[in-house]
Amino acid sequence: MPSRILLDQNVPLGLRRSLSPHEVVVARQMGWSRLSNGDLIRAADENGFDILITCDRNIPYQQNLSGRRIALIEMTTGAWHVVRNYLDRVVAAVDAAAPGSYTTVTIPQPPLRRRPYSRPEP
């Protein structure tokens, strides 16, 4: 059964295509881009969204999530060039989401590439 999914403003928009069987709305479309985390969760819950996807890793520490109907999915990065290689993990989290649940989708960061060191000219 398709879900109503709200993407927080820090989630890459490319994710929308991978969630195509669902109704996917971006917080900005709702006029909610400036809402704090608590207000965003409340607004999404009150407006019938089933799932909120965010990259904000502070939500479980800032918000009391008990008693919510909306499921929250946190991605550990919002970098599209990385996320696109792990779309199956996000889709699996969406498919497994239950009302009031909180799921973290761990997306590994690629190793940092260091620039070669060059000595400054004297």
Q: Which two tokens stand for residue 117?
A: 């060191």
More confident residue, 60 or 84: 84
Statement: residue 97 has pLDDT above 70: yes
How far is Cα 72 from Cα 75, in angstroms, rounded to an integer?
Answer: 10
pTM for the whole structure: 0.85
Q: Give the mean pLDDT of 6-11.
A: 94
Statement: residue 94 has pLDDT above 90: yes
pLDDT of residue 68: 81
Statement: residue 65 has pLDDT above 90: no
More confident residue, 93 or 119: 93
More confident residue, 68 or 86: 86
Going by the DSSP 8-state scheme, the letter that residue 35 receives in this structure is -
- Angle at the Cα of 18 from the Cα atoms of 107 and 4, rounded to 5 degrees: 100
Domain boundaries, the chain: 4-105
**In which band, very low, low, confident or very high, does the pLDDT at 77 lie, cut at 50, 70 and 90?**
very high
Statement: residue 17 has pLDDT above 80: yes
Average pLDDT, the chain: 88
112: left (phi over 0), alpha (psi -120 to 50) or beta: beta
**In which band, very low, low, confident or very high, does the pLDDT at 23 lie, cut at 50, 70 and 90?**
very high
Statement: residue 62 has pLDDT above 70: no
Q: Which two tokens stand for residue 23?
A: 């109704």
